[in-house]
Amino acid sequence: MLSIKNLNSYYGRSHVLQGISLEVPAGKITSILGRNGTGKTTFLKTLMALTDRSTGAVVLDGQDISSAQTHQRARAGIAYVPQGREIIPDFTVRENILMGSFARADRKHVVPELVGELFPYLVENFDRQGGLLSGGQQQQLAIARALATGPKLLLLDEPNEGIQPSIVEEIERAIVRLNRELGMTVILVEQNIAFAREASDHFAMMEKGRIVAQGPIPALTDDLVHRHMTV
């Protein structure tokens, strides 16, 4: 699905990602784990070409997107739900979702039916301003916007960070459902080990801009977690 070879990424002069190689299998959830500041977010940003500069090969479904710009990667089928959600506060819920549709191949501006199924609250509040929603609802909105791009691959950056527990469960269910029922490939940056273990098929553990361990989720032992994630 997504094949990454020797990926390096830079902010100005600082060399943040150092030689990342990873195979992301189709139809699976791959969790990226690690402490804060180890480059997990930068990894997702690099996949979207949102850092200053990057080198290395990124191949999506046989299509080499290593030198593609951000909007071309979005149109190639990668959707990004950033940390902090980054919805547009003075756009309505509908406008926020439709923003994603600029990446659709057919350029049709429609809200996918799926959004109504997963997040009924959003559809009931189409004309509210995005900024008036709660943090959890904004997170749902950011996921809905990503779904509106018609993606093959969904990048989720700590989707449950700082969100009220009632909505955390709803979002977790939505992620699992997108994957199990609709076969969507997901790369999930996550701090919550319990959820990562429950939801994902594969993991990659990061430390100082490198991947230090990776494999199927049963290989994520308590020892590994202890060594690379305990503060």
Partner 1 sequence: MFDVIFIGLSLSSILLLVALGLAITYGAMGVINMAHGEMVMIGAYVAVLSSIWLGANFLLAIPIAFVVTALFGLVIERLVVRRLYGRLLDTLLATWGISILIQQAVRLEFGLTFFGIHIDGLGPGLQNVTVPSYLQGTVSVAGLEFNGYRAFIIGVTLALTALTWFILYRTSAGVQVRAIIRNPKMAAACGIDVKRVNALTFAFGSGLAGVAGVMMSGFKTVFPDMGATMVVDGFMVVVTGGVGSIFGTILSSGLLGEINALVAIGTNDIIARAVVFAVVIGVILFKPNGLFSYKGR
Contact set with partner 1 (CB under 8 A): 48, 50, 69-71, 74-75, 79-80, 82, 86, 88-91, 95, 98-104, 109, 131, 145, 149
CB of 87 to partner 1, least distance (A): 8
Residue 92 or 191: the one with the smaller Cβ distance to partner 1 is 92
Residue 186 or 220: the one with the smaller Cβ distance to partner 1 is 186
CB of 53 to partner 1, least distance (A): 13
Residue 35 or 104: the one with the smaller Cβ distance to partner 1 is 104
CB of 223 to partner 1, least distance (A): 37
CB 22 within 8 A of CB 204: yes
Residue 103 or 211: the one with the smaller Cβ distance to partner 1 is 103
CB of 229 to partner 1, least distance (A): 28
Strands of 78-81's sheet, edge to edge? 78-81, 153-157, 185-189, 29-33, 202-207, 210-216
